[in-house]
Amino acid sequence: MGYGAPADAIESLWPHLQTTGAGDAVFAKGHDEIRAHWGYDHASRAIREQVMDRERRAVLEAVCEVCDRTPELESDWYAIGPVD
């Protein structure tokens, strides 16, 4: 999570994020994170590297969109990281 986030920041974002558009991303919620998946498998690593920046930008834009229209959420609370 990002700067100054309350303990329930992920849980608060989750229902809103599912209704926003982030390309073909499918979101999955874990204990302390939300992951975006695009359906590429490990065999398509070259494709993943080519589109990773675009995918991260789509997730960032989706989170900012949700926070802009939801007064109780702040985009600074969320960090968009690379795929592990």
Q: Could you tell me what percent of the chain has a pLDDT over 70?
A: 79
Mean pLDDT value of segment 65-80: 92
**3-39 tens-digit pLDDT:** 688 999 999 999 988 777 676 788 889 888 998 887 6
Residue type, 16: H
Q: DSSP readout, 15-77?
A: HHHTTS-BTB-EEEE-SS-EEEE-S--GGGHHHHHHHHHHHHHHHHHHHHHHHHH-TT--GGG
Regarding pTM above 0.85, the answer is no
| Cα dihedral across residues 61, 34, 24, 56: positive or negative | positive
